[in-house]
Structure 1
């Protein structure tokens, strides 16, 4: 069996795989460069001073996580790829209730192309509204009374040009994401978010090093913290790849001179079908009071609410955990339709041994899905609130975010997906993959 060193060497022996990886890296470098190019007319010195002490525990700070700091930098890619993600989520949820979208979902490749086109239109619309909101935030941002946007450049022309630049930046990111998916390696949209999160990791490590260098942290304690992080990542990988396989038997049928069917396949029901979406929904909701307070700092009602549900408080932790469990079931019900799976099995002559086709099969799948979603939702809730408890160990806030929450789940999920695609290229050309036994199971494995 090949060692890990040999495996990486084999990756660059395959011309197509090497070209795909280099192409992906080149586009991701462009993404990071664009995240540091400030919008025209912005005073960068005042901007840095104004955002230096801004809290990450607001809706804007949470948004900035997905765009790799571009929002705080007021960069041309400040909106990131999030308008596209929002448009996709809206259409996915609408697909459960809108007949026209349900029809498109059943039309195969043609229907998928139409849905992608609608997603792009939605992206332009959402990006336009968000870019207009961003200009409003920048116009009101100041440092000790000195505006970030100088009076000389304020006006309709600056607002219009900023909206166009931000919207175009999002569309350019969407195009690069699609190019990575088609000509590179991995899911382009996911990798753009992934690289934005990973970009903060070296700075988080530097914060921990400075704690050790200053004598504030014992090296033994740091080793224990790193070991804990490794165990948490291993647990996330284990649950992310966890599936409950339901056997499906297909009856034999003769077509011409060939016999089809007569084999047993499996329906893999994931323990975490909803992925990272429940945490995104839940944190977006619990951050709303803190975000509103940043706009109205003198409002006594908002101050009282924020006092009870501030980041790290008992009510904040409890509310986030309960919302995650709720949204896990909610999003799973949207993402996976047992009735549709049952109908497709029936059309193809498949059945679950001991279960009658039709409604009983749908009820059986739904029952199993409900049971395995409970531990999956509880696990998501634990992972989401882990950074809160890790901070009590003296870990810096930037490093604590990698112990759980949205950051860790996205990084692990995207890394597994990308490695699975690389593994497929290696095995297809008779090279050993990353694993000495079995296969690496990605999110689509």
Structure 2
């Protein structure tokens, strides 16, 4: 990986793209430290520092805080990060299977994809308004729930902030999210890698060193050093395992018969359908986390974490993640949702009927399998078999933080697991592959000259 980056910096084209990408990342991280208007920076800094040291940071808004690189706990202008865009993209992708209009646009090629991208932007704005309103409501009514236990009863917003001021803050957060969306698209067009993925990677990497060191500070055994080195050792093994699985694929051979059209001959080649072991990526983990956070967020916004009666109390006991660990109900629901979403997402992204029709249209077939319905059944059977180990792999990776929290005697979240490690490794691999492909293209051009 490092060799590819060093070689890229020696290539003028790639050097410009890498510097442009790093410049956008610097702008993003700078904006993550600019507080919103109306935020009492002194009170906010005091309570978040105390919450971090005691390991009582926000759990209900943990996914938002992860994708914002810690900007949510600082209530900065980039507090939402790119979470609204990620959510909008996933929603549009799922609706493509259900809504005929979107399905038709998907089949229209580049023009249809441009229209879907436009719809994604509109939905991102709507979700930004909703999420910013929820975040500011929690910051005003229940800051301890949003920022951590040490912030309970602390006014992180100035008392003089009226509803007009809240509207201004919502507008600022929404505009900042739109700016991030634009910056991500700039990186995709003029930089290296997928812009949204790079910004997501930056958010997670920004919190990573602090998360590892916080485990050392919060551990109760021998000053935290055994936990610190244990986390690093387990992290290296986890990264190696994730890279190994993410690169694994089942190659289904496809043979195209030779056919003559006019004076030209086509086909007569052999290829394969690459079916990845983890075809659904990190989407099932994000879906499961988001769904399980929704009841906890609603309970905290309506009654606060201190409520012990009614449905709020039941949700708090069975689904609220605390410094003492993960409730059994939360753990089982989390793993079950990951398994279910893995199969569901595979079924909508790997359309066996469409693949079989395309193969038949261009005189292709799988050796030993008849074209048409038998090909569809074979692809369904193969996809189901390969999805099982992929889904179990996602469940194991997601369960690592739950086990490590108890075994390492730490009171903060384990950084090597779940959404964190899958996104970091996935984005890292894709970015390096893109750099290497551009390096090969440059070398071919130099050879031809």
- TM-score, normalised via structure 2 length: 0.88
Count, aligned residues? 425
Q: Give the gaps of 5 or more residues in structure 2.
A: 144-150, 445-449
Q: Which residue of 2 aligns with 1:442?
A: none
Deviation, structure 1 residue 243: 0.8
**Contact kept in structure 2, 1:124 and 1:171, CA below 8 Å:** yes
| Cα deviation 1:124-165 (Å, max 9, x = unaligned) | 122122223233223324557553222323232x12221221
Equivalent of residue 20 in structure 1, options 17, 22, 25? 17
Question: In 2, distance between residues paired with 1:298 and 1:25?
Answer: 46
Q: d(CA) in 2 for partners of 1:24 and 1:411? A: 17
What residue is the counterpart of 2:34 in the other structure? Answer: 37
State yes or no: 1:137 paired with 2:130: no
Report deviation, 1:5: 6.8
Is 1:351 matched up with 2:365? yes
Contact 1:56-1:62 within 8 A present in 2 as well = no
Residue 223 of structure 1 and its aligned partner are, at CA, apart by: 4.4
Partner of 1:279: 285
**Aligned position for 1:360:** 374
Comparing 338-347 with 124-133, greater Cα deviation is found at 124-133
- Tell me, which stretches of 5 or more residues in structure 1 are unaligned? 432-445
Instruction: Specify whether residues 56 and 288 from structure 1 end up closer, same or farther in structure 2 by C-alpha distance, changes over 3 A only.
Output: farther
What's the counterpart of residue 146 of structure 2?
A: none
TM-score between both structures, scaled by the size of structure 1: 0.89
Quote the offset at 1:264 in angstroms: 0.6
Name the SS for the 1:96 alignment partner. helix
**Residue 158 of structure 2 is aligned to residue 161 of structure 1:** no
Corresponding residue number in structure 1 for 2:383: 369
Q: Which residue of 1 aligns with 2:184?
A: 177
Following the alignment from structure 2 to structure 1, what is the Cα–Cα distance between the partners of residues 95 and 356? 22
Q: SS where residue 249 of structure 1 aligns?
A: strand
RMSD of aligned alpha carbons = 2.4
Looking at structure 1, the residues matched to 80 and 129 of structure 2 have their Cα atoms a distance apart, in angstroms, of: 10
Whether the 8 Å contact between 1:58 and 1:288 is mirrored in structure 2 is no
CA deviations on 1:329-376 (whole Å, 9 max, x unpaired) are 111112221111112222222111122222221221111001100011
Which one of the candidate residues 425, 429, 433 is aligned to 1:416? 429
Q: Give, in whole Å, the separation in 1 of the partners of 2:142 and 2:2.
A: 50
Residue 108 to residue 399, structure 1, CA distance change in 2 (3 Å): same
Structure 2 residue corresponding to 1:307, chosen from 306, 317, 320: 317
What SS does structure 2 have at the residue aligned with 1:178? helix
Alpha-carbon distance in structure 1 between the residues aligned to 2:161 and 2:229: 51
From 194, 199, 211, the counterpart of 2:201: 194
Structure 2 counterpart of 1:298? 307
For residues 373 and 209 of structure 2, the distance between their equivalents in structure 1, rounded to whole angstroms, comes to 53
Question: In structure 2, what is the equivalent of residue 98 of structure 1?
Answer: 99
Larger fraction in helix: 2
SS of equivalent residue, structure 1 residue 165 = helix
SS in structure 2 at match of 1:85: helix
8 Å Cα contact 2:59-2:320 kept in structure 1: no
Q: Distance in 2 between matches of 1:24 and 1:160?
A: 33
CA separation of 1:5/1:61 partners in 2, compared to 1, >3 Å: closer, same or farther?
closer
Alignment of 1:169-248 (within 5 A): 169-207=176-214, 210=217, 215-218=222-225, 222-248=228-254
Residue number among 241, 260, 269 corresponding to 1:263 in the alignment = 269
SS for the counterpart of 2:98 is coil
Q: 1:201 to 1:47 in 2, by over 3 A?
A: same
Contact in 2 for aligned 1:57/1:287 (Cα 8 Å): no
CA–CA distance in structure 2, aligned partners of residues 299 and 293 of structure 1: 11
Q: Is the contact made by 2:85 and 2:121 (CA closer than 8 Å) also made in structure 1?
A: yes
CA contact (8 A) 2:242 2:425 kept: yes
